[in-house]
Structure 1
Amino acid sequence: MAQKHQRDVSTSPCPNPACREPVEPGDLFCGACGYDLTSAPLPDEAQGRAPAEPGGGAGPAPVSWPQAQAGGGPDASVSTQHPGDLPGVDSHGARLSAESGDFVLPSPGGGAPAGGRPEAPAGPVREAHAADPAAVRADLPQDPRAAGPGGSPQPGEALCVACRAGRVDSDGYCENCGHAQPRERDHVERDLGAVAAVSDRGLRHHRNEDAFAVSTAAAGDGTPAVIAVVCDGVSSAARPDEASAAASSAAEAALLAALPRGTHPQQAMHEAIVTAAQAVDDLVGSVSAAGEPGPVRNAPACTIVGAVALGGLLAVGWVGDSRAYWVPDDRTGPAARLTEDDSWAAQMVAAGLMSEAEAYADERAHAITGWLGADAYELEPHTVSFKPDRPGTVVVCTDGLWNYAEGVEEMARAVPADASARPLHAARVLVGHALDGGGHDNVTVAVLPFAPPVAGAESACAAT
């Protein structure tokens, strides 16, 4: 997940020591593990008490043990009684035969029947729980997973996937057990044949803050165009999931409007990024999807990378550290990274202060220096265009993937050999590669097969 350089973070870790995912002020449950934040014990300092020092303070009051009664000497007889000496009932409820010397327990009615012993039942006694479970369990503690008053779902309402008993509230949490429910964006796939994309929440984050858009269009001369846009929400900003969704949708719409007018793909990509930036800026002061007013600090932000294949031309644009790679079908040819990160690590390498291995091993490596958002320093969309002379695959992805295949050769090895023929399968394989590597971040991949046009079939844009 991208992180802004020197951002103000107002979250705190989950009190559950097995989780420690960040939670925001006002949350009732942890989004990752469902921990009830309202029952979390406060530290001693928060309760106005000085923290207890190890080994210090007064210990518990001494226990006053009763004194043993004086015995009658070593020769005194001791009265003993064995379990078999007491009357009882067998497994069917029938009274066991009493022997001489048995004492008699009072009957439930208040006294023993004549003769000194309670009478055995005339027939076998059925156990209470066999006839009426409620009669036995009514006074026992109830299963906390059972839905309480007002928590039972009504017909048509969502049922909790964890306890299968509680109603899911509008915030996506179970009112009964507090478990976070799967969100629609936790795993998303789309296959258009000419391009495919897969986005997954990953294994550590409680929501997916990535987004993508894939489309097909036609240029002014009728040449088919294929579009792929991928955005990564900045985790340290407010509403990162909404920022990535707004940016990807706005960029896609701008490209679909510009390409049919005959706009050059590289120019169309530049305009699309500017439009996406404005869509993210507009989230400031707006009302979030949860009904909360927009923040005044930590404005929504995201990265963006996009690719357009039109005729024999491949146009790529980006802001941030999301990347695009070129992997030829013939693996004897070289693969290439088509983008340069807007990040601290990239700046260190460009300035010659560190090697690439040293820079990306630093904890500041993923601090980005460029993003879409109202508090961005300056919007500088990067755009480039290429004319590949052989068929291949364009991989457009967030750092959730390339963190597990940073080098060009590593990425080329991770891309299936039949990626051009099966783009959706290739996208799934690449997402699986990231999850198998640890899945510490959201991961989104778009796979765009590219084939150069046959001689004499280039579009007007590709010939310029």
Structure 2
Amino acid sequence: MARTHQLAACPRCAEPLDASDLYCGGCGYDLSAVPGPPAGPPPPAPDWPQARETDGTGRPAPVLRASDLPATVSDTSARPEQPTLPEGVRLPEEAGAPAEPGVRAGGGPRYVSDDRPAEHPEPPDSDYALAAPPPVPPTPPTPPGAGAHVPAQSAAAPVPPRPEAAPEGAQGAPGPNAPAPDAPVPDAPAPGAPVPGTPLPNASPGAPAAGAPASAPETAPDPRLSPPPPEPGPVCARCGAGRVDADGYCERCGHAQPRPRDHMERELSTLAAVSDRGLRHHRNEDAFAVAATALPDGATAAVAVVCDGVSSATRPDAASLAAAQTAEAALMASLPRGTRPEQAMREAIEQAAEAVNALADEPVLPPEEPGQNAPACTLVAAIVTEELLVVGWVGDSRVYWVPADRSATPYRLTEDDSWAAQMVAARLLSEEEAYADERAHAITGWLGADAYELEPHTAAFRPEAPGSVVVCTDGLWNYAESAEAMAALLPADSGSRPLDAARTLVRYALDSGGHDNITVAVVPYPAPGEPVRLEAR
């Protein structure tokens, strides 16, 4: 049977209720969940103790006595057994008893025997004095054979004895973290040993105390583990700040750096040469060699060799360099021995051809790689003495004679080994028509293993007046084919300043488009005085 609520209003929304309502008509609250009135008479009110009158000391009397509180011992006969203290250590029996030296009165634990709590008078000032450690009695000697041996205690570091365990439940009993009663006593330090926590004797200020964990000593870093400093390298020729990596690019601005052969200059007292990559080619496939030596009669001989690598061949730059160096070395070996200049020139060209042929025996690409052929190049050279001018060539590189007196007629001293030259020699085309054809620069003679037949050309001249000899590749003469055009470009002081004259010609070719590699050597005639040998080429 449902229990009625006996409520006048809903406890949730205060809606008026009837005695027969089971749910609130306003919020639907379940009125059966409301607890009913307790059965029986109400419990009596607690009889709280009344405060006593003051005892005349000016302090209010305690509301509760110690006997009124549960678990409070007020009968001295019911005291638990007190723990045994070491000899020489005692506790004051009452609040007014004198304390041990160095111990504040009332500071130790005490059992209360009257109805008042123990008094704790405050010291005159607000500071509390630290309690001095109690004296420790000497440890009796351990009989032989009884347990483990404990070393004798040092007078400087006494070890207090382990207190006996207090009865369970008594005040002052050891807590759960207290050591077990049968735990072994740690060995005392040997006589003279440092006590943990005390400064070491003769230690410097700030040194760690005895027993403290020592910090790792500060040591210098191992140089073997440190990365080596970056080695100094070449500086970027474009930005002037970045370093150049192994691939030839600036690590800062990213520009490709010029290769050593992209622009070369050499100057001797008797001649000079300049070579440049140009503006369209990715590398310089030209090469040159200049030198000077003395003939057996004491006259001076100046030598200039210029080579142009065939771009359609494999490794044309290696071919031109090998030919130039070999021809120059052959001339410098034969001329001082008294070999006639014309013969020395032919022998030098033949030796240069052999050096280029040898490159074909050193393939760079795998044999199955298509497009591999023999390295090849052209060669032109000049020997200038005090009375003689000898030239030699294979290919389409040229030698021009430009007299110092510009009113005199200049000459081209070589004939090209090319399709255009053959057309002009056969009188099939005029010179203008032949060199306007797209096949004009197809060479018919070169140095290389795949050459049809080596036919070195040589010629000797005896100019009657001083002048300059211009030895160059087609990268220059493409912009000044005729001797008159070349003479117009050559500076008038080329006889005394050959390097400036060579630079001027190279600059002209670059300004004209620089479609090919450009190399030019300027040799004054007659060769002057003392010979100077080029040591580093």
TM-score by length of 1: 0.61
CA distance in 2, matches of 1:180, 1:165: 12
Of structures 1 and 2, the larger Rg is shown by 2
Q: CA deviation at 1:322?
A: 0.2
**Counterpart pick for 1:254 among 330, 336, 340:** 330
Does structure 1 residue 356 correspond to structure 2 residue 402?
Answer: no
CA distance in 2, matches of 1:244, 1:261: 26
CA distance in 2, matches of 1:236, 1:444: 19
Does structure 1 residue 241 correspond to structure 2 residue 310?
Answer: no
Percentage identity across aligned positions?
66
Aligned residue for 2:214?
Answer: none
Q: Which structure 2 residue ranges, 5 or more long, are not aligned?
A: 1-228, 530-537
Aligned residue for 1:383?
Answer: 458
CA distance in 1, matches of 2:441, 2:266: 28
Of Structure 1 and Structure 2, the greater helix share is in: 1
What is the DSSP-based 3-state SS (H/G/I as helix, E as strand, rest coil) of the residue aligned with 1:282? helix
CA deviation string 1:320-360 (max 9, x = no partner): 00000000000111100000000000011111111100110
**AA of the residue aligned to 1:342:** D
Q: CA deviation at 1:224?
A: 0.9
CA deviation string 1:221-264 (max 9, x = no partner): 22111100000011111111111110000000000000011011
Q: CA deviation at 1:204?
A: 1.2
Give the direction of change, closer, same or farther, for the CA distance of 1:154–1:393 in structure 2 (3 Å limit): same
Q: CA deviation at 1:167?
A: 5.5
What is the DSSP-based 3-state SS (H/G/I as helix, E as strand, rest coil) of the residue aligned with 1:367? coil
- On the 8 A contact 1:306/1:316 being kept in 2, the answer is yes
CA deviation string 1:264-323 (max 9, x = no partner): 1011000000011111111112266xxx67988321111000000123011000000000
Aligned residue for 1:304?
Answer: 379
Aligned residue for 2:274?
Answer: 198
Q: Which structure 1 residue ranges, 5 or more long, are not aligned?
A: 1-152, 455-464
What is the DSSP-based 3-state SS (H/G/I as helix, E as strand, rest coil) of the residue aligned with 1:315? strand
Aligned residue for 2:245?
Answer: 168
Does structure 1 residue 437 correspond to structure 2 residue 512?
Answer: yes
Aligned residue for 1:211?
Answer: 287
Give the direction of change, closer, same or farther, for the CA distance of 1:449–1:161 in structure 2 (3 Å limit): closer
Aligned pairs for 1:89-128 within 5 A: none
Aligned pairs for 1:40-55 within 5 A: none
Aligned pairs for 1:380-419 within 5 A: 380-419=455-494
Aligned residue for 1:138?
Answer: none
**Counterpart pick for 1:232 among 272, 292, 308:** 308
Aligned residue for 2:389?
Answer: 314
Q: CA deviation at 1:387?
A: 0.5
What is the DSSP-based 3-state SS (H/G/I as helix, E as strand, rest coil) of the residue aligned with 1:184? coil
CA distance in 2, matches of 1:256, 1:249: 11
**AA of the residue aligned to 2:463:** P
**The 10-residue stretch of structure 1 (216-225 or 394-403) with the greater mean CA deviation from structure 2:** 216-225
Q: CA deviation at 1:174?
A: 6.0
- On the 8 A contact 2:270/2:527 being kept in 1, the answer is no
Aligned residue for 2:56?
Answer: none
CA distance in 2, matches of 1:422, 1:336: 21
What is the DSSP-based 3-state SS (H/G/I as helix, E as strand, rest coil) of the residue aligned with 2:401? strand
Give the direction of change, closer, same or farther, for the CA distance of 1:452–1:228 in structure 2 (3 Å limit): closer
CA distance in 2, matches of 1:190, 1:229: 12
- On the 8 A contact 1:280/1:373 being kept in 2, the answer is yes
CA distance in 2, matches of 1:179, 1:436: 22
Aligned residue for 2:360?
Answer: 284
CA distance in 1, matches of 2:452, 2:383: 27
Aligned residue for 1:427?
Answer: 502
Does structure 1 residue 186 correspond to structure 2 residue 262?
Answer: yes
What is the DSSP-based 3-state SS (H/G/I as helix, E as strand, rest coil) of the residue aligned with 2:416? coil
**Counterpart pick for 2:447 among 346, 354, 372:** 372
CA distance in 2, matches of 1:332, 1:342: 30
- On the 8 A contact 1:323/1:397 being kept in 2, the answer is yes
CA deviation string 1:20-43 (max 9, x = no partner): xxxxxxxxxxxxxxxxxxxxxxxx
CA distance in 1, matches of 2:307, 2:527: 27
Q: CA deviation at 1:215?
A: 0.3
**Counterpart pick for 1:328 among 403, 407, 411:** 403
Q: CA deviation at 1:380?
A: 0.3
- On the 8 A contact 1:166/1:177 being kept in 2, the answer is no
What is the DSSP-based 3-state SS (H/G/I as helix, E as strand, rest coil) of the residue aligned with 2:422? helix
C-alpha RMSD over aligned residues: 2.5
Aligned pairs for 1:34-73 within 5 A: none
CA distance in 1, matches of 2:351, 2:448: 12
Aligned residue for 2:118?
Answer: none
TM-score by length of 2: 0.53
Q: CA deviation at 1:451?
A: 2.4
Aligned pairs for 1:125-140 within 5 A: none
Q: CA deviation at 1:172?
A: 3.2
What is the DSSP-based 3-state SS (H/G/I as helix, E as strand, rest coil) of the residue aligned with 1:185? coil
Give the direction of change, closer, same or farther, for the CA distance of 1:393–1:265 in structure 2 (3 Å limit): same
CA distance in 2, matches of 1:213, 1:453: 19
Quick one: higher RCO (CA 8 Å, sep 6+), 1 or 2?
A: 1
CA distance in 2, matches of 1:398, 1:427: 13
Aligned residue for 1:119?
Answer: none
What is the DSSP-based 3-state SS (H/G/I as helix, E as strand, rest coil) of the residue aligned with 2:248? coil
Paired residues in the alignment total: 299
